[in-house]
Structure 1
Amino acid sequence: MIGMLHKMGLSSNVMYGLGFASIGAAIASWSMSMNAEPDGIARADRWGIFVGEWAPTFFALGCAMRLEEQWGPVSARERMRETAERAREAMPVGG
Structure 2
Amino acid sequence: MVIQKMHEMGIRSEHAYMAAMASIGLTVVAWAGSLKMEPGLDLARADRWGLFVGEWAPTFFGLGLALSHYEQHDGTLTATVHEIREQQKAS
Query: TM (normalized to structure 2)?
Result: 0.76
Greater share of residues in helix = 2
Residue 17 of structure 1: aligned partner: 18
Letter in 2 for 1:32: G
Deviation readout 1:63-82 (Å, 9 max, x if unpaired): 0000000002xxxxxxxxxx
Query: TM (normalized to structure 1)?
Result: 0.73
Describe how 1:27-38 pairs up with structure 2 within 5 A: 27-37=28-38, 38=40
The alignment status of 1:51 with 2:72, answered yes or no, reads no
Q: Unpaired runs of 5+ in structure 1?
A: 73-95
Describe how 1:69-84 pairs up with structure 2 within 5 A: 69-72=71-74
Letter in 1 for 2:63: L
Which has more radius of gyration? 1
Distance in 2 (alpha carbons) for counterparts of 1:47 and 1:54: 12
Q: Secondary structure at the match of 1:24?
A: helix
Deviation readout 1:46-66 (Å, 9 max, x if unpaired): 000000000000000000000
Q: 4+ residue runs of structure 1 moved beyond 2 angstroms?
A: none
Residue 26 of structure 1: aligned partner: 27
The count of corresponding residues between Structure 1 and Structure 2 is: 72
Letter in 2 for 1:63: L
